[in-house]
């Protein structure tokens, strides 16, 4: 080895320009001496004999790379065959202080996921972060340009310190990479650094906790301590300590055959621009994210027999999971077994307890080889189902479902509030273990659905007629939505006296359909493109049936695709829901404080009751200016977008004036408020009403109403909408009646919102709402006209005011209108 290095150095001298040698014969200046090229003795001695680096004292662990620990240093011995191979580097928090990230960051949370390659450059090994956003086949000339215009960043550069004795492996010192503050793998984001005033990593209190190498992956645990002026806990310590797990896994040498996505069926996806396509542009290709399931017996599978997969999906239960909940979590995971049978696989997904130390001493929930249902000790009320996937194909490599301890509390509360009127077993703070277990089972099934590749399907609860939710046989068979992936949690429509009702959600027909579409192996195809005719055929077979419709969560304008709603008529569902909620409100003290002898649960549940009221109202609001989105291809009849019929929009407006904007009676429950709050009674309800008032009087909604006018004559026009709003909000002004404090607040909010419409603009960058030039649209003219009409009405009403408060209110409103119309 030494001889090779000396020859290489001499060769460098031979290649030096001749004039440099000529200069050496002359007397050199001090400056010339300083810049003269001399043999790099440091470089020559940097690469040492293997035995002098990896000494007899080394503690070694063989696997993907051999990991060596020598004294306080860690080394990777990288087989050269793994250089330039695609690997996935996943950074996760394994331990963290409470409330880091505001409560939604937990042990097991992924902080970064990146595809990397290890490359040799001269005397260094580089980690390069690689992107598959732009691709082209290596055999095509354009691949040269793709690489040149998508140059990968270098995350870290390591000096080569030794070669193995057979020169097949390269040794690098990785101590600094894993023990210093490398942003690309840090658990403290830029936002956190700013919020918590993180100054720097304290290297004296940061160290590598351990490394393990396995055949396909390497796991590294880091303890990192940061100096921070505003830590999340123990403020006086001015310290944030976290423990990170860095997982590096070798991606499959033969990538999984991807499946092209179709927006008509909901899947999480990965996308690439293919510059090698025959299209006259960079061709965006989008693939679904899914596990690689391949039948053990392809011939039997092709005959339609149920076949086990070569490698099933296995979820382990976190050892921290309470014992009494474990059976429900396992049932939730294995709810998907019957669904996978629709796609031809049996025993495709399996739930297991975590192995003991004796069974598997290397087991760790952070290890990327294991998918785990993480049980998190946190006050956060939530659950999640994230996954890690191969960006080349969408193959899911691993996933961890996150269950937060306090999440059951939110389900107990909503069970009581939404079903308590018709469901006697929900009228308690001590919901039975069986009922809580069934709820948890279905939440776990929902989160596992995410981990299998499914996003929310907010259209699934609109598949059923609203009246069906009062039919016991129907609810027992169908639950409350056509998919477990909807946010449809409880049957809040069923009324007292309805019998045999299922109140809790369950798996649906859409789940079977969508999983079959994504996971069924299509035989005798060589590419993703060849699968398209079959995939399209499967969609067309179900087209037009609302049970198989996918509704995007982002469709905020579509009343048939809403979160937390059930039934195909928001007004009917809302009426039933509010009727039930009124019953619950009248008995809330009886079911809580009278039993517990304190007001804590009463206060908590009453606040959540107001949120439930607001949700029901919000579902109706979406109908006004609403547009149905029915995703379809040109080979299907009908249009993708269809305006909500005028009659239904007017029905929604009338419902809102009656139920949302009227003075509250039952919902402002003074028996509750006088025992839980000393003030703020009117403000609570004002804020709820104003939220929906402002949502109605929004640029996006009015813009959709104006757009609809060019589609047909029988549409709900923006002018008619604004007239109906004015007449409903100000109906007392035409009737010479008292205006309550709630209505006075609401009316002032109306003027404020009209002022907003008169003065504000949509920023072109704010693409969350539909953009148009407000100043040059009809909005200002319509608003000005409505305010002028209102001013005349109030001028007359002031003279007929039934009391002084109402008179002063009208005088104040007239002045406010004047300031809007004539601000100077």
- Contact between residue 222 and residue 93 where contact means Cβ atoms under 8 Å apart: no
Handedness of CA 259, 262, 266, 269 (dihedral sign): positive
Alpha-carbon span 379 to 382, nearest angstrom: 9
Q: Which has the closest alpha carbon to 249: 371, 160, 105?
A: 371
User: What mean pLDDT do residues 84-102 have?
Assistant: 88
Q: How many residues does the chain have?
A: 824
Q: Give 555 or 750, the one with higher predicted confidence.
A: 750
Characterize the bridge pairing of strands 283-288 and 239-250. unpaired
- H or E stretch including 225? strand 217-228
Each residue's pLDDT tens digit, 315-361: 999 988 999 999 999 999 999 999 999 999 999 999 999 998 899 88
- SS3 assignment for 732-773: HHHCCCCCCHHHHHHHHHHHHHHHHHHHCCCCCCCCCCCCCC
Lowest mean pLDDT among 118-132, 143-157, 564-578, 658-672: 143-157
Each residue's pLDDT tens digit, 139-160: 767 666 666 666 688 999 999 9
- Contact between residue 240 and residue 232 where contact means Cβ atoms under 8 Å apart: yes
- H-state helical runs in 430-569: 433-452, 472-478, 509-519, 528-542
- H or E stretch including 587? helix 570-591
Q: How confident is the model at residue 10 (pLDDT cuts 50, 70, 90)?
A: very low
pLDDT of residue 145: 67
pLDDT of residue 144: 64
Q: Give 275 or 561, the one with higher predicted confidence.
A: 561
Cβ atoms within 10 A of the Cβ of 440, count?
Answer: 22
Point out which residues pair with 154 in neighbouring strands.
Answer: 128
User: What mean pLDDT do residues 259-281 have?
Assistant: 84
Distances (CA, A) of 194 to 95, 98, 167, 188: 21, 18, 46, 10
- H or E stretch including 119? strand 110-121
pLDDT of residue 23: 36
User: pLDDT at residue 3 above 60?
Assistant: no
- Contact between residue 794 and residue 810 where contact means Cβ atoms under 8 Å apart: yes
User: What mean pLDDT do residues 780-788 have?
Assistant: 97
pLDDT of residue 34: 39
Q: How confident is the model at residue 32 (pLDDT cuts 50, 70, 90)?
A: very low
- Contact between residue 294 and residue 521 where contact means Cβ atoms under 8 Å apart: yes
User: pLDDT at residue 28 above 50?
Assistant: no
Q: Which has the closest alpha carbon to 726: 753, 700, 695, 701?
A: 753
pLDDT of residue 711: 83
Each residue's pLDDT tens digit, 680-729: 889 989 999 999 999 999 999 999 999 999 887 789 999 999 999 999 99
Q: How confident is the model at residue 280 (pLDDT cuts 50, 70, 90)?
A: low
Which two tokens mark 202?
Answer: 């304290």
- Contact between residue 448 and residue 401 where contact means Cβ atoms under 8 Å apart: yes
Handedness of CA 690, 695, 698, 701 (dihedral sign): negative
Characterize the bridge pairing of strands 371-376 and 313-317. parallel
User: pLDDT at residue 4 above 70?
Assistant: no
pLDDT of residue 408: 86
Mean pLDDT of the chain, nearest integer: 89
Alpha-carbon span 720 to 751, nearest angstrom: 18
CA angle 410, 411, 412 (to 5 degrees): 95
- The percent of the chain in helix, strand and coil, each rounded to the nearest 5, is 40, 20, 40
Each residue's pLDDT tens digit, 507-552: 999 999 999 999 999 999 999 999 999 999 999 999 999 999 999 9
Q: Give 231 or 423, the one with higher predicted confidence.
A: 423
CA angle 583, 588, 592 (to 5 degrees): 150
The residue extents of the domains of the chain are: 2-46, 50-250, 259-587, 592-824
Q: Please, what's the b/e burial string for 230-239 (b: 16 or more CB within 10 A of its CB; e: otherwise)?
A: ebbeeeeeeb
- Give me the residue label for tokens 């809102």: 656
User: What mean pLDDT do residues 802-822 have?
Assistant: 95
Angle between helices 407-419 and 433-452 (to 10 degrees): 110
- Give me the residue label for tokens 């001015």: 238
Tell me what percent of the residues of the chain surpass a pLDDT of 90.
71
User: What mean pLDDT do residues 455-466 have?
Assistant: 96
SS3 assignment, position 13: helix
Which two tokens mark 438?
Answer: 């069934």
Q: What is the DSSP string of 540-580?
A: HHHTT-GGG----TT-TT-TTS-TT--SS-HHHHHHHHHHH
Alpha-carbon span 489 to 381, nearest angstrom: 15
Alpha-carbon span 794 to 661, nearest angstrom: 19
Which two tokens mark 156?
Answer: 């870290």
Handedness of CA 591, 596, 599, 600 (dihedral sign): negative
SS3 assignment, position 802: coil
Compute φ and ψ for 552, nearest 5 degrees.
-70, 140
Distances (CA, A) of 272 to 133, 240, 392, 394, 657: 4, 38, 8, 11, 49
Alpha-carbon span 577 to 571, nearest angstrom: 10
Tell me what percent of the residues of the chain surpass a pLDDT of 70.
91
Q: How confident is the model at residue 231 (pLDDT cuts 50, 70, 90)?
A: confident
pLDDT of residue 97: 87
Each residue's pLDDT tens digit, 372-408: 998 877 777 777 777 889 999 999 999 988 887 778 8
Non-local CB neighbours of 649 within 8 Å, separated by 6+ positions: 623, 624, 625, 626, 716, 721
- Side-chain half-sphere CA neighbours of 189 within 13 A: 13
User: What mean pLDDT do residues 62-73 have?
Assistant: 95
């Amino acid at each position: 080895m030494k001889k090779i290095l000396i020859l290489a150095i001499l060769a460098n001298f031979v290649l030096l320009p001749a004039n440099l040698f000529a200069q050496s014969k002359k007397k050199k200046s001090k400056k010339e001496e300083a810049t003269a090229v001399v043999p790099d003795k440091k470089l020559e001695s940097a690469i040492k004999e293997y035995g002098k680096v990896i000494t007899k004292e080394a503690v070694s662990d063989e696997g993907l790379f051999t990991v060596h620990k020598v004294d306080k240093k860690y080394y990777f011995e990288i087989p050269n065959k793994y250089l330039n191979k695609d690997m996935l580097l996943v950074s996760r928090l394994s331990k963290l202080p409470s409330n880091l990230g505001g409560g939604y960051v937990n042990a097991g949370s992924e902080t970064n996921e990146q595809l990397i390659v290890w490359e040799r450059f001269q005397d260094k090994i580089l980690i390069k972060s690689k992107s598959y956003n732009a691709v082209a086949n290596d055999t095509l000339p354009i691949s040269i340009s793709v690489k040149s215009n998508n140059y990968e960043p270098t995350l870290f550069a390591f000096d080569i310190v030794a070669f193995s004795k057979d020169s097949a492996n390269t040794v690098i010192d990785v101590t600094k990479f894993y023990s210093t503050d490398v942003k690309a793998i840090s658990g403290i984001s830029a936002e956190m650094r700013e919020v918590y005033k993180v100054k720097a990593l304290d290297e004296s209190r940061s160290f590598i906790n351990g490394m393990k190498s396995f055949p396909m992956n390497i796991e590294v645990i880091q303890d990192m301590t940061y100096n921070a002026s505003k830590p999340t806990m123990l403020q006086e310590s001015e310290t944030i300590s976290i423990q990170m797990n860095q997982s590096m896994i070798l991606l499959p040498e033969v990538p999984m055959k991807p499946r092209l996505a179709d927006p008509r069926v909901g899947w999480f996806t990965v996308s690439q621009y293919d510059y090698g396509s025959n299209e006259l542009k960079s061709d965006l290709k989008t693939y679904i994210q899914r596990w690689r399931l391949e039948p053990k017996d392809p011939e039997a599978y092709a005959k339609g027999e149920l076949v086990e997969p070569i490698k099933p999906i296995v979820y382990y239960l976190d050892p921290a999971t309470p014992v009494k909940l474990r059976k429900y979590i396992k049932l939730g995971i294995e709810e998907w077994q019957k669904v996978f049978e629709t796609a031809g696989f049996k025993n495709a997904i399996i739930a297991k307890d975590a192995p003991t130390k004796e069974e598997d001493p290397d087991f760790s929930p952070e290890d990327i080889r294991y998918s785990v249902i993480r049980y998190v000790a946190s006050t956060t009320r939530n659950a999640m189902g994230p996954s890690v996937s191969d960006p080349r194909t969408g193959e899911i490599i691993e996933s961890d479902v996150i269950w937060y301890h306090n999440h059951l509390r939110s389900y107990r509360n909503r069970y009581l509030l939404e079903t308590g009127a018709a469901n006697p077993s929900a009228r308690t703070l001590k919901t039975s273990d069986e009922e809580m277990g069934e709820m948890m089972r279905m939440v776990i099934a929902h989160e596992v659905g995410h981990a299998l590749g499914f996003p929310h399907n907010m259209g699934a609860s609109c598949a059923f007629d609203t009246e069906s939710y009062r039919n016991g046989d129907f609810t027992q068979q169908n639950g409350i939505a056509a998919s477990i992936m909807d946010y449809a949690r409880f049957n809040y429509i069923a009324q007292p006296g309805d019998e045999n009702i299922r109140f809790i959600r369950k798996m649906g027909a859409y789940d079977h359909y969508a999983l079959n579409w994504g996971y069924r192996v299509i035989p005798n195809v060589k590419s993703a493109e060849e699968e398209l005719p079959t995939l399209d055929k499967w969609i067309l077979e179900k087209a037009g049936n609302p049970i198989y419709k996918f509704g995007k969560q982002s469709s905020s304008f579509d009343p048939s695709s809403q979160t937390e709603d059930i039934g195909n008529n928001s007004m009917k569902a809302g009426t039933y829901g509010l009727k039930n909620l009124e019953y619950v409100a009248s008995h809330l003290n009886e079911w809580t404080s009278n039993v517990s002898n304190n007001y804590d649960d009463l206060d908590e549940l009453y606040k959540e009751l107001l949120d439930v009221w607001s949700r029901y109202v919000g579902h109706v609001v979406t109908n006004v200016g609403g547009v149905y989105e029915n995703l379809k291809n040109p080979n299907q009849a009908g249009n993708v977008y269809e305006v909500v019929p005028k009659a239904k929009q007017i029905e929604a407006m009338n419902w809102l004036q009656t139920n949302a904007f009227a003075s509250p009676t039952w919902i402002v429950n003074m028996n509750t408020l006088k025992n839980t709050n000393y003030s703020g009674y009117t403000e609570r309800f004002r804020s709820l009403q104003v939220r929906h008032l402002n949502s109605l009087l929004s640029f996006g909604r009015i813009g959709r109403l104006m757009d609809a006018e060019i589609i047909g004559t029988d549409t709900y026009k923006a002018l008619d909408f604004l007239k109906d709003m004015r007449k409903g909000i100000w109906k007392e002004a035409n009737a010479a009646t008292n205006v309550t404090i709630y209505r006075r607040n609401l009316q002032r909010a109306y003027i404020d919102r009209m002022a907003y419409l008169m003065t504000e603009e949509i920023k072109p960058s704010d693409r969350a709402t539909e953009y148009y030039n407000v100043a040059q649209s009809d909005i200002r003219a319509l608003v000005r006209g409505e305010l002028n009409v209102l001013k005349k009405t109030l001028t007359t009403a002031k003279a007929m005011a039934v009391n002084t408060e109402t008179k002063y209110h009208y005088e104040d409103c007239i002045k406010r209108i004047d300031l809007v119309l004539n601000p100077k």
